[in-house]
């Protein structure tokens, strides 16, 4: 079993030093509590609601920043893997909405968000590479960010590439949700887990930032598509998952999650509308 | 607004005459009650749990069977469209798990299930054409059947081809579901509706057939991804839907359901594992 902990934090807007401290404390506590995978929100090092490109650039970092060395040092203590979002320095003053996968040896992979939500397009350059599926000591970890989850072609493609667990750092803006219903993004995650037989861990954020309220919808979903943990009052969601179950896509002797696909009839997917 | 009615019936196993009567009564009642779209379960003319190919063949029909003329005559009374599953006669003694789209003029389209579930593979020949998206007087209606819904590539491709509403005749075998949760197939439908901004109407069946229990999970979902109707005690689910909302894929001035896709990064979808 793998102990997965999501930490639903609230970053300090545009304060890299404060967020370095915040994330290191959360990662350290989680590993002390037994976490083997620690997942943090989208843009947890920077905050989300930028007022200008200059502000975004002021907190943008590269994967060789010492913050990741801190995460790596903490990860090394517990043989853990840490996945968290950050604002990444791009070429020529550009910035990416990125996520890093870090273990005791350092940064294993960086993912740049492919699907930018709404006004993110005013700040970030979209990614230009498929999401990583990283071979770690705790299984094959896929990484996407927030709005990416709403593209079932993407979650399917990550599953087809062998991910056991999909880590999804998010910042879900609070939207309408009828009483008693889960946040719609969570419902999309549940479906993605079920149809791909792949665990999914969405780590959301909390707080209100420059008037923007957040959902606080952190949810860990098993490969069977059932919710196994949501954030407690401290913003911690913890689940013990058998990630190897995702490798068996057999549903019955005559039914297989991938084998039953009929790709020759999904043609419209490759055209853009 | 379009009045959509799903009739969650229990067919009489392998009794075409009885099921002709059953479906005509349900379609007639629904249209009398104002239905403009009437949706019936998968294989409603035949039952599901066949014991032999001979039994399946004994109730297999072609689209020119008088049963569809009956449905068309009823549809004509109310300018309605009827979608229902049937066991279709194929060439050389084969059979298909099919669904027909019928209006007052007759059969508009026939869809042959692409993704056969489990032991269906022992009886049915899989379809070899994409699901129809039928231009009707009540909008563009896409049709898939049951297990097809579990392939998000397929629901996406139907949405990209312009469906306003996806009709899903189903026979959902009863499976484990924790107290208080919706059937997992419904959760997949909710996600498919939301991420595609397309209404989805799943018409399930009830009863126990040769020991197989059914879910009775009939659910109508709006293009926003919210459940708007489930079957009442009489097995009737009714919703008034504005199907034109599905044609507007704009989420914000800077976000678009289809325009935000990055098809060049979904490559693995075209390979079969």
Q: What is the ipTM of this complex?
A: 0.96
Q: Is the pLDDT of residue A213 over 70?
A: yes
What is the average pLDDT value for chain B, to the nearest integer?
96
Give the pLDDT score at A273: 39
Give the pLDDT score at A272: 45
Give the pLDDT score at B268: 66
Give the pLDDT score at A268: 66
Find residues 51-110 of chain A whose CB sits inside 8 Å of chain B: none
Among residues A225, A49, A39, the alpha carbon closest in space to that of A120 is found at: A49
- Over residues B161-197, the pLDDT tens digits come to 999 999 999 999 999 999 999 999 999 999 999 999 9
Would you call A270 and B258 a contact, using CB atoms and an 8 Å cutoff?
A: no
Give the pLDDT score at A267: 76
Identify all chain B residues contacting A156, using CB atoms and an 8 Å cutoff: 152-153, 266, 268-269
Q: Report the alpha-carbon distance of residue B18 to residue A253 in Å, rounded.
A: 33
Give the pLDDT score at A200: 98
Q: How sure is the predictor about B273, in pLDDT bands with cuts at 50, 70 and 90? A: very low
Phi, psi of B249 (to 5 degrees): -95, 15
Instruction: Tell whether A162 is within 8 A of chain B (Cβ).
Output: no
Looking at residues A247-252, what average pLDDT do you find?
97
Looking at residues A134-160, what average pLDDT do you find?
97
Chain B nearest CA to A67, separation (Å): 30
Instruction: Tell whether A248 is within 8 A of chain B (Cβ).
Output: no
Looking at residues B21-50, what average pLDDT do you find?
98
Looking at residues B2-30, what average pLDDT do you find?
98
Of all residues in chain B, what percent carry a pLDDT higher than 90? 97
Identify all chain A residues contacting B193, using CB atoms and an 8 Å cutoff: none
For tokens 């009830």, what's the residue?
B206
User: Residue A105, Cβ neighbours under 10 Å: how many?
Assistant: 9
pTM > 0.95: yes or no: yes
Q: Report the alpha-carbon distance of residue B75 to residue B87 in Å, rounded.
A: 21
Helix/strand/coil (H, E, C) string of chain B? CEEEEEECCCCCCCCHHHHHHHHHHHHHHHHHCCCCEEECCCCCCCCCCCCCHHHHHHCCECCCCHHHHHHHHHHHHHCCEEEEEEEEECHHHCEEEEEEEEECCEEEEEEECCCCCHHHHHCECCCCCCCCEEEECCEEEEECCHHHHHCHHHHHHHHHCCCCEEEEECCCECCCCCCCCCCHHHHHHHHHHHHHCCEEEEECCCCEECCEEECCCCEEECCCCCEEEECCCCCEEEEEECHHHHHCCEEECCEECCCCCCHHHCHHHHCCC
- Over residues A88-102, the pLDDT tens digits come to 999 999 999 999 999
Q: A207 exposed, middle or buried (CB, 10 Å; 0-12, 13-18, 19+)?
A: middle
Calculate ∠ Cα B272-B263-A99, nearest 5°. 95
Phi, psi of A255 (to 5 degrees): -140, 135
Give the pLDDT score at B272: 45
Q: Residue A140 corresponds to which tokens in the numbers above?
A: 């094959």
Report, as residue numbers or ranges, the catalytic residues of A.
42, 113, 146
Would you call B152 and A192 a contact, using CB atoms and an 8 Å cutoff?
A: yes
Would you call B157 and A114 a contact, using CB atoms and an 8 Å cutoff?
A: no
- Over residues B221-264, the pLDDT tens digits come to 999 999 999 999 999 999 999 999 999 999 999 999 999 999 99
Instruction: Tell whether A30 is within 8 A of chain B (Cβ).
Output: no
Identify all chain B residues contacting A130, using CB atoms and an 8 Å cutoff: 265, 267-268
Looking at residues B92-119, what average pLDDT do you find?
98
- Over residues A118-137, the pLDDT tens digits come to 999 999 999 999 999 999 99
Q: Report the alpha-carbon distance of residue A119 to residue B110 in Å, rounded.
A: 43
Helices and strands of chain A, counted as H and E runs: 5, 16
Asked if residues B1 and B242 have their Cβ atoms less than 8 Å apart, the reply is yes
Q: Is the pLDDT of residue B271 over 70?
A: no
Q: How sure is the predictor about B200, in pLDDT bands with cuts at 50, 70 and 90? A: very high
Looking at residues B45-57, what average pLDDT do you find?
98
Identify all chain B residues contacting A260, using CB atoms and an 8 Å cutoff: 115-116, 147, 151
- Over residues A4-62, the pLDDT tens digits come to 999 999 999 999 999 999 999 999 999 999 999 999 999 999 999 999 999 999 999 99
Which strand (E) or helix (H) includes residue A108?
strand A106-112
Among residues B222, B142, B149, B140, the alpha carbon closest in space to that of B188 is found at: B149
Would you call A118 and B252 a contact, using CB atoms and an 8 Å cutoff?
A: yes
Give the pLDDT score at B270: 62
Give the pLDDT score at A254: 98
């Amino acid at each position: 079993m793998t102990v997965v902990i999501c930490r639903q934090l609230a970053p300090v807007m545009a304060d890299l030093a404060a967020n370095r401290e915040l994330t290191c404390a959360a990662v350290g506590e989680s590993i002390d509590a037994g976490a083997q995978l620690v997942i943090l929100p989208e843009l947890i090092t920077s905050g989300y609601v930028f007022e200008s490109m200059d502000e975004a650039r002021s907190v943008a970092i590269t994967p060789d920043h010492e913050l990741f060395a801190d995460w790596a040092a903490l990860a090394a203590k517990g043989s853990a893997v840490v996945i968290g979002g950050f604002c990444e320095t791009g070429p020529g003053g550009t910035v990416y909405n990125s996520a890093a996968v870090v273990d005791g040896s350092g940064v294993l992979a960086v993912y740049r968000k492919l699907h930018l939500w709404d006004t993110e397009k005013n700040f970030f350059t979209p990614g230009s590479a498929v999401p990583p599926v990283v071979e770690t000591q705790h299984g094959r970890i896929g990484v996407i960010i927030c709005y990416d989850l709403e593209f079932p072609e993407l979650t399917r493609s990550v599953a087809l590439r062998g991910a056991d667990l999909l880590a999804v750092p998010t910042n879900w803006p609070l939207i309408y949700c009828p009483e008693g219903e889960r946040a719609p993004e969570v419902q999309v995650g549940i479906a993605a887990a079920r149809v791909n037989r792949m665990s999914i861990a969405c780590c959301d954020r909390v707080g209100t930032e420059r008037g923007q309220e957040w959902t606080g919808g952190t949810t860990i979903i098993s490969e069977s598509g059932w919710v196994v943990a949501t954030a407690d009052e401290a913003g911690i969601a913890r689940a013990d998952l058998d990630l190897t179950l995702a490798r068996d896509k057999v549903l019955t002797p005559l039914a297989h999650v991938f084998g039953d696909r009929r790709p020759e009839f999904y043609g419209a997917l490759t055209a853009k509308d």
